[in-house]
């Protein structure tokens, strides 16, 4: 199922990231995140081959759910944005725990430690009394298309998809790519870790609530620093 989107006269196709799009999506992701992602920059992740491979492994594990989406620029036929999402249901052991526990590189361990510190500091499943969440894991927009509203438009589409999934109203076409493991899941909230000022502003526009905040920590002694604009990580969520 493809949805057409027009921004400043440019046309884009929003589509589910199915296996035939994995290679293109991975290429965009592995260009954007290591080179521009706040946590990747401050941990110098791209200089560690093992960390790069673990980041790729994490992204592909997220895609397996079949609820991630890409934006293709029609004029150039290029993927220019992706939003990778995962269903989390801790009671049913639906999570990324297995892949995360396999990580050994220091950059990825530092990133995961910072994320877990935020999530463990506010147990949203307990505090909001829910079992299932739709988690936005990664939003990657090609630099040539940043600051044009593309990221917001993709996220709005994702939010609408999550709401339909919560109500059990996905169409047969939307259901088809979903993994068997999550077909019966009904997410009760959308959540994500905001790692930059841009992500924070985007979360605010999407009416997400900040439930926990913490400064980036655990950086090594090799001179890695955090841009002052992005020194805080935020755990944000919104009920569906």
Q: Residue 113 and residue 85: Cα distance in Å, rounded?
A: 20
Q: What is the dihedral of CA 208, 211, 217, 218, to 10 degrees?
A: -100
The count of structural domains within the chain is: 1
Which tokens is 126 given?
């307990």
* Sequence-ordered list of residues with C-beta below 8 angstroms from that of 207, at least 6 positions apart, any chain: 238
pLDDT of residue 60: 97
Render 124-171 in DSSP notation, one character per residue.
HHHHTT-S-EEEEEEEEE-GGGTTTTHHHHHHHHHHHHHHHHHHT---
* Sequence-ordered list of residues with C-beta below 8 angstroms from that of 189, at least 6 positions apart, any chain: 124, 128, 130, 133, 134, 237, 238, 239, 240
* Sequence-ordered list of residues with C-beta below 8 angstroms from that of 57, at least 6 positions apart, any chain: 99, 102
Residue 223's CB is within 10 A of a number of other CB atoms, namely: 7
What pLDDT digit, counting tens, does each position of 108-128 carry?
999 999 999 999 999 999 999
pLDDT of residue 221: 43
Task: Indicate whether 22 pLDDT > 60.
Answer: yes
* Mean per-residue pLDDT over the chain, rounded: 93
Q: Residue 96 and residue 86: Cα distance in Å, rounded?
A: 8
Q: Which of 118, 126, 102 lies closest to 51, judged by CA? A: 102
pLDDT band at 232 (very low <50, low <70, confident <90, very high): confident
Strands 2-7 and 209-215: unpaired
What range does the domain containing 169 cover? Answer: 2-239
SS3 224: coil
Q: Which of 82, 26, 28, 86 lies closest to 56, judged by CA? A: 26
Residue for token pair 């997400």: 208
Please report, rounded to a whole number, the percentage of residues in the chain having pLDDT higher than 90.
84
Task: Indicate whether 223 pLDDT > 60.
Answer: no
Segment 230-237 mean pLDDT: 88
CA 147 remoteness from chain centre: 18
pLDDT band at 229 (very low <50, low <70, confident <90, very high): low
pLDDT of residue 127: 98
Q: What is the CATH number of the domain that holds 36?
A: 3.40.630.30
Segment 9-26 mean pLDDT: 97
Reported pTM = 0.94
Please report, rounded to a whole number, the percentage of residues in the chain having pLDDT higher than 70.
94
């Amino acid at each position: 199922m493809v949805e057409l989107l027009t921004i400043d006269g440019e046309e884009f196709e929003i589509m589910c990231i199915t296996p035939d799009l994995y290679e293109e999506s991975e290429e965009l992701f592995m260009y954007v995140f290591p080179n521009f992602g706040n946590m990747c920059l401050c941990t110098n992740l791209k200089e560690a081959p093992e960390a790069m491979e673990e980041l790729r492994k994490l992204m592909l594990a997220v895609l397996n759910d079949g609820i991630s989406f890409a934006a293709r620029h029609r004029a150039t036929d290029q993927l220019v944005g992706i939003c990778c999402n995962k269903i989390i249901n801790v009671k049913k052991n639906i999570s990324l725990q297995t892949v995360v526990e396999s990580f050994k590189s220091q950059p990825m361990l530092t990133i995961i430690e910072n994320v877990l510190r935020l999530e463990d500091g506010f147990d949203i499943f307990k505090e909001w009394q829910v079992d299932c969440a739709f988690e936005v894991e990664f939003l990657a927009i090609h630099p040539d298309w940043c600051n044009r509203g593309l990221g917001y438009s993709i996220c709005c589409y994702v939010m609408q998809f999550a709401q339909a999934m919560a109500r059990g109203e996905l169409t047969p076409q939307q259901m088809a790519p979903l993994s068997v493991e999550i077909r019966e899941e009904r997410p009760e909230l959308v959540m994500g870790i905001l790692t930059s000022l841009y992500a924070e502003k985007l979360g605010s526009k999407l009416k997400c609530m900040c439930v926990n905040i913490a400064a980036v920590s655990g950086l090594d002694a090799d001179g890695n620093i955090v841009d002052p604009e992005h020194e805080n990580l935020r755990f944000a969520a919104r009920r569906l």
